[in-house]
Chain A
Amino acid sequence: SQTIHQWPATLVQPVGSPLSLECTVEGTSNPNLYWYRQAAGRGLQLLFYSVGIGQISSEVPQNLSASRPQDRQFILSSKKLLLSDSGFYLCACRGQGNTEAFFGQGTRLTVV
């Protein structure tokens, strides 16, 4: 079965600092990969998804970017964090076919 590694679990960063969140996947190849953000008390907002290496689709204009340098690695980045970037960031993975998506345990980011 698929396993998603997402770290760190919590992160406190000052405004204007850079961000790099990494997600790696085991147990599947050529998966679809996703980054979501969840603000406090809100639903899951799809930020980026990728159907293959180097292929990134952005869903919402924002201060963030994503990259997929390897098949099972998905990175979320920012050059300068804003207060509004605070939230719970989740990475998800879906294998080929009509399979379910698996989620990581998330990173809770607080920008201060």
Chain B
Amino acid sequence: DAKTTQPPSMDCAEGRAANLPCNHSTISGNEYVYWYRQIHSQGPQYIIHGLKNNETNEMASLIITEDRKSSTLILPHATLRDTAVYYCIVWASNTGKLIFGQGTTLQVKP
């Protein structure tokens, strides 16, 4: 079973920041938080991952709470092409399984 909880859907205005929350209250100390997104009819695309520090790359920023029980993915300036299903996953390097939850469908509107 997935170990994360995400809202099923969110809307965001084009050009504004999209903040996607994820709860992972049962995360273990060796598990990382990963974010992927899936645009319709394509394979999931890796976005970012982190352990306990905040992370930023060219696509997004990841904010992880100090207790690591939740995180937020931030797309700083959402575009229409960011419309997709966003998946938050917790995963450890010594774990074979990679389980996806239902994700959040982000709709970016003009």
A residues adjacent to B (C-beta < 8 A): 32, 34, 36, 43-44, 46, 49-51, 57, 59, 88, 90, 92, 94, 96-98, 100-106, 108
Contacts and interface: CB of A to CB of B under 8 A. Distances in A.
A32 B41 CA distance: 23
Given A34-B98, A50-B96, A57-B97, 15 more contacts: A36-B100, A44-B87, A44-B100, A46-B99, A46-B100, A49-B98, A51-B96, A59-B97, A94-B98, A97-B93, A98-B93, A100-B34, A100-B46, A100-B49, A103-B43
Contacts of B100: 36, 43-44, 46
A82 to B, nearest CB: 23
A103 B44 CA distance: 6
28 contacts: A32-B98, A34-B98, A36-B100, A43-B101, A43-B102, A44-B87, A44-B100, A46-B98, A46-B99, A46-B100, A49-B96, A49-B97, A49-B98, A50-B96, A88-B41, A90-B44, A92-B43, A94-B98, A96-B93, A98-B32, A98-B51, A98-B93, A100-B34, A100-B49, A101-B46, A106-B42, A106-B43, A108-B41
